[in-house]
């Protein structure tokens, strides 16, 4: 493909290139000029499974975020040479099928580390300071009607000298640790690859659950981490503990967490991810008033998305030069 003009298909530009609201307006649009300069581009806001093969006919390169590409798609797309996933995780691609059909698969590592860590801390601070709750109360006129100069609607928690237990100590977990330490917190961690890191003690799961005032999840979703936080784990946590999920929804047994919150076994939880996305209205964590839920936006700052698109373009250029980068699977 070196030097060739190629056909590029982006299957789900929303929300990586900007989030399309109900009125059709795209919020935070990321320029696509650089991508379009690399070949003949077809950029779709979203793609249903039944549309994938038709849209990708004759495509040399396909970009996907959440659209699944499996054996059926690879067998029907003989021109396909490269898949560049608009994310770090590549679970939407059947890697065995890609390799057997001679397709290179690349990803974009590290583009959202700072944004995801920042959002995880924002979830924690919302649980401890309840800024949104008090802002809504003030705008509703409660402060005007108050007889005191100050009031609070929930306990306010200071984090200094509390223990942060981090599950998964990759780049995001490590950045969360740095911020937690800046807030005066002690940091312990649990990881499949413990390391010697100053001021961070690596411990087993039981110790982390027992000793942590805050448990923050930043591990990949694997067979071992699915339902890492289950009923047994929740019972092992401190009664006043807080739980943050910045990893993947299925790392938590959501029914068990909802029951633990309703029974006040732990004080509160906040998550940016759910097992089903978008969720069904019956999602157990949406039913719980003690759980803060944001719509998988930790990765989506404008700076992070700009890096995502720039690194994706570099993946394409490197592949065209014959020296692919960020390769997950090569033929």
What is the set of active-site residues? 248, 277, 296
Strand partners, 40: 7
Distance of CA 32 to the CA centre of its chain: 23
Tokens 């959002």 locate to 119
Neighbours of 277 (CB within 10 A): 12
User: Cβ atoms within 10 A of the Cβ of 74, count?
Assistant: 21
CA angle 96, 53, 275 (to 5 degrees): 60
Cβ neighbours for 222, distance < 8 A, ≥ 6 positions apart: none
Bridge-based pairing of strands 214-217 and 200-202 is unpaired
The C-alpha angle with vertex 249 and arms to 243 and 254, in degrees rounded to 5, equals 65
Looking at the chain, how many residues does it have? Answer: 331
At residue 10, φ and ψ (nearest 5 deg) are -100, 115
């Amino acid at each position: 493909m070196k030097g060739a003009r190629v056909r590029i298909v982006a299957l789900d530009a929303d929300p990586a290139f900007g989030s399309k609201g109900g009125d059709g307006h795209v919020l935070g649009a990321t320029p696509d000029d650089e991508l379009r300069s690399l070949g003949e581009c077809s950029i779709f806001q979203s793609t249903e499974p039944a549309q994938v093969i038709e849209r990708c006919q004759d495509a040399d390169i396909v970009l996907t975020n959440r659209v699944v590409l499996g054996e059926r798609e690879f067998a029907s797309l003989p021109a396909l040479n490269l898949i560049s996933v608009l994310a770090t995780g590549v679970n939407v691609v059947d890697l065995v099928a890609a390799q057997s059909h001679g397709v290179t698969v690349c990803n974009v590592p590290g583009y959202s580390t700072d944004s995801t860590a920042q959002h995880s801390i924002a979830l924690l601070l919302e649980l401890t300071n309840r800024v949104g709750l008090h802002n809504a109360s003030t705008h509703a006129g409660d402060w005007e009607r108050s007889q005191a100069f100050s009031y609070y609607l929930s306990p306010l928690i200071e984090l200094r000298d509390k223990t942060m237990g981090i599950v998964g100590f990759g780049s995001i977990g490590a950045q969360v640790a740095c911020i937690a330490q800046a807030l005066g917190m002690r940091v312990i961690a649990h990881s499949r690859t413990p390391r010697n890191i100053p001021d961070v003690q690596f411990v087993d799961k039981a110790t982390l659950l027992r000793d942590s005032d805050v448990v923050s999840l930043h591990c990949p979703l694997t067979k071992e981490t699915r339902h890492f936080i289950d009923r047994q784990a929740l019972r092992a946590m401190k009664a006043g503990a807080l739980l943050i999920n910045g990893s993947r929804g299925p790392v938590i047994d959501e029914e068990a967490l909802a029951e633990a919150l309703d029974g006040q076994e732990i004080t509160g939880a906040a998550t940016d991810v759910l097992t089903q996305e978008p969720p069904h209205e019956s999602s157990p964590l949406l039913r719980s008033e003690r759980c803060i839920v944001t719509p998988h936006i930790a990765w989506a700052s404008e700076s992070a998305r700009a890096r995502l698109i720039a690194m994706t373009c570099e993946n394409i250029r490197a592949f065209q030069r014959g020296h692919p980068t960020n390769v997950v699977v090569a033929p």
